[in-house]
Amino acid sequence: MMLQMTGVHAHYGHVHALRGIDLSVQVGEVVTLIGANGAGKSTLMTSLFGAPRCSSGQIIFDGEDITRLPTHQISHRGIALVPEGRRIYPRMTILENLQMGVSYADPSNFEVDLKRMEALFPILESRRHQAAGTLSGGEQQMLAIARALMSRPKLLLLDEPSLGLAPLYIRKVFEIIQELNRDYGMTILLVEQNANHALKVAHRAYVLQHGEIVLSGTGQELLSDPAVRAAYLDGGSH
C-alpha cells in the first residue's frame, strides 16, 4: 500500500472541508479524484502535507504515519505535489525552478535528472535560463510536473493539471500521466475537473461531494455509471 487515508477530517477556518475520508492508493496505480468545484479535492491533496492539518483520522504513507509530520518533511518521504494553478516560481529561471525540486534528493543525480526532464519536456531545454513567468500556461504546467519529478517521488500528486490549458496541452498532460505510469511505474493520485479524460487514464477513481467520498470504483465502472455521467460527464466536462 502506497497511501492510506482513514477517517480523515479537516477544517478550513469554520468550513468542515473533509468529512471522514477513506482513500487508498496502491503501488503502481493511477487513482483519480473527481468532483465539483468546492467538493474538497484540492484540500484533500494539501491535507496530505498538513495544510490544513487533519483534525482527526490517520494518513499512512509507505508504511509510516505521516499525519503529524511537519509540512516540509512530508515531501522528504517521497511525495511530490503539482499544485493547482501550477504555481511555478515566475521570477526564477527554469533551471532554478527545477533546482528547487530537489530539496532532499541526492544532489549528484541532478544532472542526470535534468537531462531526463528535458528529454520528457523538450520545451524546457532551450529555455533553461529564461524566467519561468514568460512561459505559456501549458509550458508552465510541464515545468511544474518536471519540478515535482526532480525529487524522484514514489507518489506523484497532480492537482487539476489540465485546468485552463489549450486542448493540445490537455492531451499532452494526459499522455504524460500515462507514460509516467506505464514506463516508469509511477504511482499517481490525480485530481481533475475533466472527469472524462481522468477516468479514462485511471485504474480506480473516487467521487468526492461536500468533503465526503460518495462513490468509488474502477475508472471504467464510473465512466459507465449513470449518476456519474449525469453529474460530471454529460455536458459537465470541458
Partner 1 sequence: MAQALQQLINGLTLGSVYGLIAIGYTMVYGIIGMINFAHGDVYMVSAFIAVTTFTLLAALGVSSVPLALLVVLVVAVLFTSAYGWTVERTAYRPLRNSTRLAPLISAIGMSIFLQNMVQVTQGARVKPVPPMLSDGITLFTSGSYSVRISSAQILIIVLTVVLMAGFTWLITRTAFGRQQRACEQDRLVTAFLGYNVDRIISLTFMIGAALAAVAGVMVTMYYGVVDFYIGFVAGIKAFTAAVLGGVGSLPGAMLGGLIIGLLESFWASYLSPEYKDIGTFVILIMVLMFRPSGLLGRPEVEKV
Residue ranges that bind partner 1, judged by CB under 8 A: 46, 49, 51, 70-76, 80-81, 83, 87, 89-92, 96, 99-101, 103-104, 147, 151
Beta carbon nearer to partner 1, 162 or 219 = 162
Most distant CA pair in the chain, distance: 51
Give the residue among 202, 203, 191, 215 at the shortest CA–CA distance from 46. Answer: 191
> Which run of H or of E encompasses 227?
helix 226-228
> Which run of H or of E encompasses 23?
strand 15-25
| Distance of closest approach, residue 4 Cβ to partner 1, in angstroms | 20
Beta carbon nearer to partner 1, 139 or 225 = 139
| Distance of closest approach, residue 89 Cβ to partner 1, in angstroms | 5
| Distance of closest approach, residue 226 Cβ to partner 1, in angstroms | 36
| Distance of closest approach, residue 139 Cβ to partner 1, in angstroms | 18
| Pairwise CA distance, residues 207 & 237, whole Å | 15
80 close to 153: Cβ distance less than 8 angstroms? yes
**Is the peptide bond preceding residue 52 cis, with omega within 30 degrees of 0?**
yes
Beta carbon nearer to partner 1, 66 or 80 = 80
Beta carbon nearer to partner 1, 69 or 214 = 69
